[in-house]
Structure 1
Amino acid sequence: MPYIANTPKDIEEMLKVIGAATIDELFQGIKPHQRAKSFDLPGGLSEYEVTEHLQKLGYKNQFDFIPFIGGGYYDHYIPAAVPHLISRGEFYTAYTPYQPECSQGTLQALYEFQSSICTLTGMQVANASLYDGGTALYEAMMMALRINNKRSKIILDGGVSPIYRKIIKSYTTNLDISLVETTVSHGIVDRKEMLKLFDDDTAAVILQNPNFFGAIDDLTDIVQQAHQKNILIIESVYPMSLGMLKTPAEMGVDIVTGEGQSLGLPLNFGGPYLGFMATKKEYIRKMPGRIIGQTVDQNGKRCFVNTLQAREQHIRREKATSNICTNVSLCALQALIYMSLLGKEGFKELSQTNYHKSEYLKKRLDGIEGVEVKRSAPTYNEFTVHLPADASAVVAKMIDKGFAAGFPLGRYYADMQNYMIIAVTEKRTKAEMDLYAECLKEVILETQGEVVGCG
């Protein structure tokens, strides 16, 4: 029987307070024919039976293919020490403390996470994390509007992930914001189009680098032009790329956000993931989310606190910096452990490995008739290809050959049915990439009516 804490005496007292004689009186407003007479539910299962049932359901999922899917979420190797450390009870069950001094271990871990994000991006301050890359980008946009509070126009570059753009448009539907999107391009930002949109009502420009199509762009000139008109620059970054590319701080960017999944988090059917945000120190009071600070106690001993809490914890709702007043502490800790295990040199080496492996696959695909690797700009880790057939059909056929071949762009762009993004991480071996190229060649021939095979 279910355990219900209310004793007969408790029930009697509660009924007396609400003026009812019996529990049945509470349901008199529901007509008899509307009430369920019984619930046709099966009996309970044992632990073994539940485990067996769930395993059978799990086997329906396809998990034995080699992934080349990108688009913002990547199949990176996670060192065994990461899940081992994160599963410690004091980490796994801890929650972000609401009283600053109550959990020094959790606060220190989040402080170190912020420090690592600042090191990675070159920015001066970071928060204790946000939900994911998409919502972090939206929060950055709202932060920019608070800073430039006399302006209402946001320029959203076409190279930003369509997933992120959907999130931003969904959040801003009923807000008094002018959201202007630029043309989608496989390459870098169209400077002429962008500069024409700059005006005195523009609060910020949202860019992504590398962009959704993998293209690398030095944004320094755009940042300088924007700052001449007091326009803020928001950049969404792929953290792994920062091991070899110019940092947002070096380009003069004002607010940086990103998806932290590549920092030691598994793909896991879409989450939970990790959003991060960093900015210049002058904007810290406008930044959403928790911020952990370092100080000393009355005995002069180093300690950590939730600092500047009035921004979001102890303030009226309409004046808060965000309606997101929490963070994904466990995921942030997981990312911190991952970055700490790699270290600066390890992170650089891994970043370069990702780049060089993707360049190798580009060269292998160049030899396939009908496949065009888009080279309007240098790329990092992933790149766009044009196929002589529908990309979704090619991806479906490649699954049969053991590959998740890429991300079909027709899913988000009606005029790109024959395009797909291919991502390469450090996990992909030369043998896997060679076989991928061979199988892709065979699949394209199959779509053209020829019967062939690879292996």
Structure 2
Amino acid sequence: MRYLPLTNDDRQAMLAKVGASTIDDLFVDVPEIARLNGTIPDLPMHASEMAVERHLSKLAARNLTAGDGPFFLGCGAYKHHVPASVDHIIQRGEFLTAYTPYQPEIAQGTLQMLFEFQTQVARLFGTEVANASMYDGSTACWEAVVMAGRVTRRKRAILSSGLHPHYVSVANTMAKFTGDTLVTGTPALTAEPDTDALIEQIDDDTSCLVVQYPDILGRIGDMTKLAEAAHAKKALLIAVVTEPVALGAIKSPGEMGADIVVGEGQSLGVGLQFGGPYVGLFGCSQKLVRQMPGRLAGETVDAEGKRGYVLTLSTREQHIRREKATSNICTNSGLCALAFSIHMTLLGEAGLRRMAALSHAMACRTADALTNIPGVELVNDHFFNEFTVKLPGEARPVVRALADKGILAGVSLGRLYPAEGALANGLVVAASEMTTQEDITALAQGLKEVLA
């Protein structure tokens, strides 16, 4: 029996307060096709626990997981090796929390970790400061756009065509409620992004220019010109990094003039985990720090002169800022941020650079193997661990056919951009230090058979 504490009068009073006549009015933003009328078809009304376990296990066995065979998926979530020590350490009592510490006197371990996490992210991104993490890369990207609007007092943001479409989708959803105007586009299958065309879109009403680095096709562009063009119009440059391991090999966005750098930290310490939970990274220049969402952990000394850690800046709605808060982000991804920080600490700078070099080397081998197949064309030869190839036909059925062979070949651009026929033949392929020569050989052989 369900416990329903509210009466009909209670519900009507609440609906009247928010200006809705019925419960259904609260779901008008959900497309009609996505709504369910009545019960779920073919779902039994009840079953025993054992029967449910057997049924769900049978369904799960149909999945092809990342460790079951050759794996070349990327596009924002990457398969890297996470040492077993990461999982061991995050379960220690000093750290085990997924939430923000409020009482520094009993949360010194977590606060010190967050302080070190911020230092690592700032050095990785080339920014002066970084916060104590966000939910994930896509929401961090949107928070950066809103932050740029506060700083510039403008409402027009330009999102590069090379920005991950899921990040664009999140931004479009949120912009409905803020009144921001987003200028977006879709990428072309070219070796280099069209920097000049992007610069031409910047005007006196532009709050920010958002550029992914490397972009959705794996292309690595020099953002220096973009930063100069944005700053000339008093706009901000926001860089989005979905593969932080790349920054062990290529120049950081901060070095090229990015004002805000955000990204997804999943690659370090956090497994693929069926798409989450992940951890958002956020860094910026010192002069923008008070407009940064989330919170900052800081180092101080106590009354006895001993080192201690506190929440230095927390411009959130639950604290004294309230309606003046920079964001309604209510927590940080503490446990995932801890895993990221531990993995980074275990690697060190030399280890991260080595990991990046191995990932790049395996991607180069993969690209060479695929481009030896007749009809397969490499779109961009300037990449880190992810590149795009153009197949002689639509990529989606090819990906499905290779999955039937136990090979996860990559992400078809037709899946990411279903309405863009010009991208249907594109396939984004990612490799890492976990990719083996046997994996590459299997992918190349499988693709050759499917295309034959």
Is TM-score (shorter-chain normalized) higher than 0.5?
Answer: yes
The match for 2:356 among 351, 354, 374 is 351
Equivalent in the alignment of 2:264: 259
Cα shift at 1:43: 5.4
Cα shift at 1:308: 2.1
Cα shift at 1:189: 3.3
Cα shift at 1:312: 4.4
1:397-451 residue CA offsets vs partner (Å, 9 max, x unmatched): 1112220111011113222221110111111111210221111111101xxxxxx
Tell me the distance in 1 between the aligned counterparts of 2:48 and 2:184. Answer: 55
Alignment-mate amino acid for residue 192 of structure 2: I
Q: Is contact 1:297-1:303 (8 Å) kept?
A: yes
The match for 2:429 among 399, 422, 446 is 422
Equivalent in the alignment of 2:283: 278
Equivalent in the alignment of 1:231: 235
1:26-425 matches, cutoff 5 A: 41-42=46-47, 55-63=57-65, 64-93=68-97, 95-149=99-153, 151-186=154-189, 187-237=191-241, 238-310=243-315, 312-315=317-320, 317-375=322-380, 378-413=382-417, 414-415=420-421, 416-425=423-432
Cα shift at 1:371: 0.7
Tell me the distance in 1 between the aligned counterparts of 2:192 and 2:170. Answer: 22
1:69-92 residue CA offsets vs partner (Å, 9 max, x unmatched): 111111111111111222334433
Segment of structure 1 superposing worse, 130-139 or 393-402:
393-402
Tell me the distance in 1 between the aligned counterparts of 2:315 and 2:266. Answer: 30
Tell me the distance in 1 between the aligned counterparts of 2:315 and 2:282. Answer: 19
Q: Is contact 2:376-2:390 (8 Å) kept?
A: yes
Q: Is contact 1:405-1:422 (8 Å) kept?
A: yes
Cα shift at 1:98: 2.1
Equivalent in the alignment of 2:448: 441
Q: Can you give the 5+ residue segments of structure 2 that lack an aligned partner in the other structure? A: 4-43
Secondary structure at the counterpart of residue 266 of structure 2: helix
Segment of structure 1 superposing worse, 174-183 or 244-253:
174-183
Q: Is contact 2:141-2:167 (8 Å) kept?
A: yes
Cα shift at 1:368: 0.7
Identity of aligned residues (%): 45
Cα shift at 1:174: 3.0
Alignment-mate amino acid for residue 61 of structure 2: Y
Tell me the distance in 1 between the aligned counterparts of 2:49 and 2:223. Answer: 60
Cα shift at 1:99: 3.1
1:238-278 residue CA offsets vs partner (Å, 9 max, x unmatched): 21100010111210110000001101211111100110100
**Residue 94 and residue 193 in structure 1: after superposition, are their counterparts in 2 closer, same or farther (change >3 A)?**
closer
Secondary structure at the counterpart of residue 212 of structure 2: strand
**Residue 397 and residue 311 in structure 1: after superposition, are their counterparts in 2 closer, same or farther (change >3 A)?**
closer
Q: Is contact 1:288-1:312 (8 Å) kept?
A: no
Alignment-mate amino acid for residue 385 of structure 2: N
Equivalent in the alignment of 1:34: none
**Residue 50 and residue 152 in structure 1: after superposition, are their counterparts in 2 closer, same or farther (change >3 A)?**
closer
Structure number with bigger Rg: 1
Tell me the distance in 2 between the aligned counterparts of 1:183 and 1:289. Answer: 31
Alignment-mate amino acid for residue 71 of structure 1: C
Q: Is contact 1:144-1:232 (8 Å) kept?
A: yes
Secondary structure at the counterpart of residue 439 of structure 2: helix
Segment of structure 1 superposing worse, 60-69 or 392-401:
60-69
**Residue 157 and residue 434 in structure 1: after superposition, are their counterparts in 2 closer, same or farther (change >3 A)?**
same
Tell me the distance in 2 between the aligned counterparts of 1:73 and 1:128. Answer: 21
Tell me the distance in 2 between the aligned counterparts of 1:419 and 1:183. Answer: 13
Secondary structure at the counterpart of residue 368 of structure 2: helix
Q: Can you give the 5+ residue segments of structure 1 that lack an aligned partner in the other structure? A: 5-38, 446-455
1:77-132 residue CA offsets vs partner (Å, 9 max, x unmatched): 11111112223344334632123433111111111111111121121111110000
Q: Is contact 1:289-1:312 (8 Å) kept?
A: no
Q: Is contact 1:155-1:204 (8 Å) kept?
A: yes
Q: Is contact 2:99-2:332 (8 Å) kept?
A: no
Cα shift at 1:65: 2.8
Secondary structure at the counterpart of residue 240 of structure 2: strand
Q: When the two structures are superposed, what TM-score results if normalisation uses the length of structure 1?
A: 0.84
**Residue 43 and residue 166 in structure 1: after superposition, are their counterparts in 2 closer, same or farther (change >3 A)?**
closer
Secondary structure at the counterpart of residue 273 of structure 1: coil
